[in-house]
Amino acid sequence: MAETIRSLQGQTLPPYDIIVVDDCSTDETAAVAEAAGAWVIRPPKNKGSKAGAQTFALPLVATEFVMALDADTTLAPDAIERMSKAFDDPEVAAASGSVIPRHIRSVWERGRYVEYMFAFSFYKRIQDGYGKPLISSGCFSLYRTDKLREVGGWSNRTLAEDMDLTWTLYQRGSKVRFMPDAVCYPIEPHNLDLMRKQLRRWSHGFIQNVQLHWQGVLGLGYLRSMVSLALWDSIIASIGYLFAIPLLAILVNVAFLFAYVLDAPVILIPVLLSALPRRELGKALASFPSYFPLRVANAVMMLKAAFLELVLRRPFRVYEKGH
């Protein structure tokens, strides 16, 4: 928390105010934040989710722009300045930046590092080129305050409040941008238990957002394509990945196992190209194998979420933060 606040104070374009929502924590959060110079507010009772806590603080914001930042996320010194350039366009309501895990030690952190390097150096830029980043990441995003207030802030009707907000803004005619040079460093889950909690939240959140927004999304060309393919990937591709490939390998030919690594060079190329200027080639190469266990975990959690939400109609509502 103290590190996060210090990284905000050290920005080339520092924020006017830093509001910390102490959502009825039982540790030293409030004291640490206050000592670091933040304005700490505390709701009368726990808001139950990050969305609830952030929306609780929204009426206190007196500036034209407001930034949401997770407590465990630090920023590159010029992150806000670079991100603020997105708002030169008056139609832009939200912007997000690149995300790179702060610690890259365990298999899960390494897998996430590769996943993020691939996403933020390749397909997020393409999404931005088409004017439709799939999501303005909740860990670090900048918003036009009036636009955010118009939609009621962050909603807790799904477990992925950032995706919900992004899609809502699109449907209201606002633009969302991805600014690759604005970099943040969150702490990612370092073991399977924490990763499972995060993936459960994200996968249920995605399905919940599809259920909530599908009619509105259908009218937004490129977003419709991405969401329909993501839904296909989450269900059919996961079945193929977890069941069809092993069965074909056992029953037909062991060469089918090759399918698991067929796209490895496609993922590796953007990862290495973005690791090169960061002087992280060795780290990227050493981390690359960890991407595949994470992909299996992703497929398992996504399939489970789709089954629970769409077939059994048992929505998951408990907001569990990994750490």
Partner 1 sequence: MFFVLSALLAVPIEAVRTVRGRSSRAAWMLVTRNAALALVMIAALQLFFMGISAIVRYAAEHGKSPLPKTLPIAPVLMALAVLLTVLLTAKALELALRGRAALRARRGRAVLPTRVPSSAD
| Residue 318 near partner 1 by CB under 8 A | no
Shortest distance in whole angstroms from residue 128 CB to partner 1: 8
| Residue 151 near partner 1 by CB under 8 A | yes
Shortest distance in whole angstroms from residue 260 CB to partner 1: 13
Question: Angle CA(164)–CA(167)–CA(173) in degrees, nearest 5?
Answer: 140
| Residue 154 near partner 1 by CB under 8 A | yes
| CA neighbor of 163 nearest in space, from 91, 212, 116 | 212
| Residue 147 near partner 1 by CB under 8 A | no
| Residue 255 near partner 1 by CB under 8 A | yes
Shortest distance in whole angstroms from residue 134 CB to partner 1: 11
Looking at residues 194 to 223 of the shown chain, list those that interact with partner 1 (rule: CB under 8 A): 215-216, 218-219
Q: Closer to partner 1 by CB, 132 or 197: give it.
A: 132
Q: Closer to partner 1 by CB, 95 or 268: give it.
A: 268
Binding window for partner 1 (CB under 8 A); candidates: 25-33, 92-100, 103-111, 125-133 = 125-133
| CA neighbor of 201 nearest in space, from 133, 123, 302, 300 | 302
* Identified binder of partner 1 from the candidate list 42, 102, 125, 196, rule CB under 8 A: 125
* Identified binder of partner 1 from the candidate list 7, 55, 137, 203, rule CB under 8 A: 55
| Residue 153, Cβ density class (10 Å: 0-12 exposed, 13-18 middle, ≥19 buried) | buried
Q: What is the DSSP string of 200-266?
A: HHHHHHHHHHHHHHHHHHHTSHHHHHHHHHHHHIIIIIHHIIIIIHHHHHHHT-GGGGGGGTTTHHH
| Residue 239, Cβ density class (10 Å: 0-12 exposed, 13-18 middle, ≥19 buried) | middle
| Residue 269 near partner 1 by CB under 8 A | yes
Q: Are 104 and 148 in contact (CB under 8 A)?
A: no
Binding window for partner 1 (CB under 8 A); candidates: 7-15, 31-39, 264-272, 308-316 = 264-272
- Ramachandran class of 313: left when φ > 0, alpha when ψ lies in -120 to 50, beta otherwise: left
Residue 321 backbone dihedrals phi, psi, to 5 degrees: -80, 140
In the chain, % helix, strand, coil (3-state, to 5) comes to 55, 10, 30
Q: Closer to partner 1 by CB, 192 or 248: give it.
A: 248
Q: Closer to partner 1 by CB, 38 or 210: give it.
A: 210
* List of residues contacting partner 1 (CB under 8 A): 51, 55, 122-123, 125-126, 128-130, 150-157, 164, 168, 171-172, 215-216, 218-219, 224-229, 232, 253, 255, 258, 262-266, 268-270, 273
